[in-house]
């Protein structure tokens, strides 16, 4: 195994997504806020 292959398999490329060790409660709360805002938008537009 060459040095290049060894370094590329260990270090994963970051794509700007959420970190694995971030605050899970904040992510969960923001998901529910998105659901509530979407529900309010749907009802205001009369789509439901």
Res 31: pLDDT: 96
* Distance (Å) of CA 30 to CA 15, 20, 47: 21, 16, 23
Res 1: pLDDT: 57
pTM of the full predicted structure?
0.52
Which residues are CB-neighbours of 18 under 8 A, at least 6 positions away? 27
Res 20: pLDDT: 65
Joined together, the tokens standing for residue 2 give 């060459």
The predicted-structure confidence for 2-48, as pLDDT tens digits, reads as follows 666 555 556 667 677 666 666 889 999 999 999 999 999 999 999 87
């Amino acid at each position: 195994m060459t040095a290049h292959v060894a370094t590329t398999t260990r270090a994963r490329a970051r794509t700007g997504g959420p970190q694995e060790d971030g605050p899970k409660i904040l992510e969960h709360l923001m998901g529910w806020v998105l659901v509530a805002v979407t529900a309010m938008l749907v009802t205001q537009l009369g789509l439901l």
